[in-house]
Amino acid sequence: MFLLKKIISSLFLPLPVCALLLIAGLIFLWFTGRQRLGRTLVSLGAVTLLLFSNASIPNLLLQPLERPFTPVFVTPEQAASLTQPPLKWVVVLGAGDIYSPSLPPTTQLHDASLARIVEAVRIHRELPESKIVLSEGTSFENVPVAEVMGRAMRALGVEEKDLVLETQSRDTEESAQFVQAIVGKDRFILVTSASHMRRSQALFRKLGMDPIAAPTDYESSSQGLRLSDFYPSVGELHKADLALHEYLGLAWAKLRGKI
């Protein structure tokens, strides 16, 4: 069921949708007499690809997900409110890796995972008595992502005694369940990408937990549009993927009553 969910959800992201439209259009153009339908599908695929690969559309999609959340410990007032009484837990959600024992652990992590653990290190220094919970198991590799994150954390100077690894979860919903068994009813700081925070907080709160949002890895731009923003870019297509993945995740969780 988990693998099927991953496969189906991936088909609704911009690049697979555009590829399917283009391939279907070419099939109609080359192998059938339905030339008009073929041209329509190819045109729709090309236009969709152009729309999602420039900065304007991905930014519009990402900003409602990211902008409601601001980083923690950026003002003295905020620091005072979060350290009295002191918080015991900093929970970090993983975002995948490219496990390869020949590489340093920081190099093995996907960019989002690396951004999250760096933010967690910053927060941990503000809360030196806190424990860092690293949450993500594995779907296909032998080594859970949380273990790689733990190695990277130690390479960045975090002591072994301050790390707690949750290595069973395969998605955010399962992370919430397994983290609850660790932190219980304690308040905790939740570190994840800004675009992922809305869904993450909702899943944790549905279980009765009280996470404090600590977003990182912002992808949307707050600057005004520039001419270069309308040029197609693989990076912008990736941002569109992130945004649509989150909207699909929110919709799926709501349909199932998980948020």
Cis peptide preceding 85, ω within 30 of 0: yes
Q: What is the model's pLDDT at position 176?
A: 96
Average pLDDT over every residue of 17-45: 94
Check pLDDT > 80 for residue 201. Answer: yes
Could you give the percent of the chain with pLDDT greater than 70? 92
Average pLDDT over every residue of 5-33: 86
Helix, strand, coil % (nearest 5) of the chain? 60, 10, 30
Q: What is the model's pLDDT at position 2?
A: 60
Beta strand extents in 95-181 (DSSP E only): 131-135, 163-166
Q: How many CB atoms lie within 10 A of CB 134?
A: 28
Q: What is the pLDDT of residues 107-134, one digit of tens each?
A: 999 999 999 999 999 999 988 889 999 9
Pairing verdict, β 211-216 and 163-166: unpaired
Q: pLDDT band at 81, cuts 50/70/90?
A: confident
Return mean pLDDT, the chain: 89
Q: pLDDT band at 139, cuts 50/70/90?
A: low
Q: What's the rounded Cα separation, in Å, for the pair 78 and 117?
A: 21
Residue-wise burial string across 135-152, b where 16 or more C-beta atoms lie within 10 A, e elsewhere: bbbbeeeeebbbbbbbbb
DSSP-assigned beta bridge partners for residue 190: 91, 213
Domains and CATH numbers, the chain: 2-64+232-255 (no CATH), 71-216 (3.40.50.620)
Average pLDDT over every residue of 173-197: 95
Q: What is the model's pLDDT at position 78?
A: 76
Q: What's the rounded Cα separation, in Å, for the pair 30 and 35?
A: 8
Q: What is the pLDDT of residues 91-101, one digit of tens each?
A: 999 998 887 88
